[in-house]
Amino acid sequence: MRCPWCQQLQIRDLTLKEILWPLTIKETRCQVCESKLCKIEAPYCMLCLKKGVASPCDDCRMWQTEYPSYDFQHHCFFQYNEAFHDWIYRYKFLGDYRLRGTFTDEIRSFFHQHPKAIVCTVPLSSERQKIRGFNQSAAILSAAKIHTVDLLQKTQHTDAQAQKNRQERLAMTQPFEATSLAKEIKGREVIVFDDVYTTGRTLFYAAEVLEHFKPLKIRTLSLAR
């Protein structure tokens, strides 16, 4: 088996389940790659999991002021550190599509706890999709075999968020609109997935559009914060 991050061959003992049902054998990160990741540990903001701050953090207080009726709750798995930056650069900007399965275990474990949720990803503009060749968030969920519904579409092409500073990100205008499938979410739990949470601007705009269709609740998810 290969590590889904560094692609190096690794040897490990199979579980009884994997021996009896070979199709259940899964690729897991090697110890070297695992050691690079930094999980979110207390103290952290209980609303967005920002590490090392009181709850709610300054960002969340700002969002509570702007969206007082939105019952916001974000979940992520890792702190955005140098190793994660290198991973996202290889995957997202160099187009190493093999990396889409790096965090499959975490993704499946999370959605196992939300079996009835409608899941959507943050869409790309058609221009960005052509440049990149794939939607990085949709590919991550596809690798984990998580069904998604295209509830949103991006109505304008914008510069990549990675090229913007904090103020430029927050100043971004609403880039999304709902698709015809959004009517399905009334009374349902909705989970919106994006690869990274930085300021929250993108995910709050996504939730703003979807709230008009009266879902039971909206939750957001990212790999890193």
Q: Which residue has the tokens 């971004």?
A: 172
- 152 and 172 co-located in one domain: yes
Measured distance CA(122)–CA(50) in Å, rounded:
20
Confidence of residue 55 (pLDDT cuts 50, 70, 90): confident
- 117 and 135 co-located in one domain: yes
Please report, rounded to a whole number, the percentage of residues in the chain having pLDDT higher than 90: 80
- 76 and 27 co-located in one domain: no
- 22 and 115 co-located in one domain: no
**Strands (DSSP E) found in 11-147:** 74-78, 118-121
- The pair of structure tokens assigned to 182 is 């959004």
- The pair of structure tokens assigned to 193 is 């997935």
Q: Are 219 and 75 in contact (CB under 8 A)?
A: yes
CB atoms within 10 A of CB 65: 8
Q: Which residue has the tokens 């990396």?
A: 99
- The pair of structure tokens assigned to 48 is 């967005």
- 92 and 27 co-located in one domain: no
Q: Are 178 and 152 in contact (CB under 8 A)?
A: yes
| Angle at 80 (CA atoms; ends 3, 189), nearest 5 degrees | 90
List the domain range (segments joined by +) for residue 24: 1-36
Q: Are 122 and 194 in contact (CB under 8 A)?
A: yes
Confidence of residue 10 (pLDDT cuts 50, 70, 90): confident
- The pair of structure tokens assigned to 74 is 């974000």
User: How many structural domains comprise the chain?
Assistant: 2
pLDDT at residue 191, as a whole number? 98
pLDDT at residue 18, as a whole number? 59
Measured distance CA(25)–CA(87) in Å, rounded:
24
Q: Is the pLDDT of residue 178 over 80?
A: yes
pLDDT at residue 158, as a whole number? 73
pLDDT tens for each residue of 124-156: 999 999 999 999 999 999 999 999 999 999 988
Measured distance CA(177)–CA(37) in Å, rounded:
35
Measured distance CA(60)–CA(64) in Å, rounded:
6
Peptide bond into 56 cis (omega under 30): yes
- 57 and 3 co-located in one domain: no
- 218 and 171 co-located in one domain: yes
Confidence of residue 43 (pLDDT cuts 50, 70, 90): very high
pLDDT at residue 154, as a whole number? 95
Q: What mean pLDDT, rounded, does the chain reach?
A: 92
- 31 and 56 co-located in one domain: no
CA distances from residue 120 to 6, 130, 209 in whole angstroms, order as listed: 28, 20, 13
CA distances from residue 215 to 130, 144, 191 in whole angstroms, order as listed: 32, 25, 10
Confidence of residue 193 (pLDDT cuts 50, 70, 90): very high
* Mean pLDDT in residue range 60-85: 97
- 155 and 178 co-located in one domain: yes
- 62 and 28 co-located in one domain: no
Q: Which residue has the tokens 């960005």?
A: 128
Measured distance CA(146)–CA(113) in Å, rounded:
13
Please report, rounded to a whole number, the percentage of residues in the chain having pLDDT higher than 70: 92
CA distances from residue 184 to 31, 37, 158, 178, 203 in whole angstroms, order as listed: 42, 37, 28, 11, 19
- 46 and 155 co-located in one domain: yes
- 28 and 106 co-located in one domain: no
* Mean pLDDT in residue range 34-55: 93
Question: CATH no. for residue 120?
Answer: 3.40.50
